[in-house]
Amino acid sequence: MYHVELRQFPHNFCRFNLSEGELAALVVPWSRGEVLDAGERKWSPQVAKIKILEGPELELQELSMGRGWRHAERRSQDVTDRVLAAVPAASRAGLSPAAPPAARAPATGEVSEAGAGAGSGLADPLAALVQIGALLGPEAPRLLAAWRAAAAADPSLSPSGALAAAEESLGGDA
């Protein structure tokens, strides 16, 4: 489980018990420098600070009366640097996900990210999720919802077939 704090004096906003997918939905736009809309505020990465903790799920009673972040800090580990470093350079730069740098053929003596093995971060489930989120583009939440709906409507579809159906249902603007 992940716990996130956004802080810009005098305001702060915390989200608790996030899955890797929910975390990726926050981290990818943040790393691109995009403004996040969370907790009835807009958070700019140029001004605000983000802190990401990884630890056990917090129970409801641990979150009550504003004590959630203290409980999270006591029982979790700060993974902010690791998570932000896992965001692919293409998504940080805001480049088109249609042609990520890893898609080109590696030059002589260079190892492609896909073939780099466990050291590349691809063995890390969070890194893989962040990369998939970056490939889905800026409309990732809409496309993911349509993808889930297409897969639920026809369970016989392959994942790529369900993705194609989702893109078609969105009119190709995803």
pLDDT confidence of residue 53: 93
| Assigned token pair, 41 | 């505020």
User: Which pLDDT tens digits describe the chain residue by residue (174 residues)?
Assistant: 899 999 998 898 888 998 888 888 888 888 888 888 888 889 889 999 999 999 998 888 888 777 788 888 888 899 988 888 887 654 554 443 333 333 333 333 333 333 334 344 455 666 666 777 767 766 777 787 888 888 888 888 888 888 888 888 887 555
pLDDT confidence of residue 96: 37
Residues 6 or more apart in contact with residue 3 via CB below 8 angstroms: 14, 15, 16, 17, 18, 52, 53, 54, 55, 58, 68, 69, 72, 76
Instruction: Record the pTM.
Output: 0.53
The domain ranges of the chain are: 2-91, 139-174
pLDDT confidence of residue 104: 32
Instruction: Specify whether the CB–CB gap between 124 and 85 falls below 8 A.
Output: no
pLDDT confidence of residue 151: 85
CA 100 to chain centre: 17
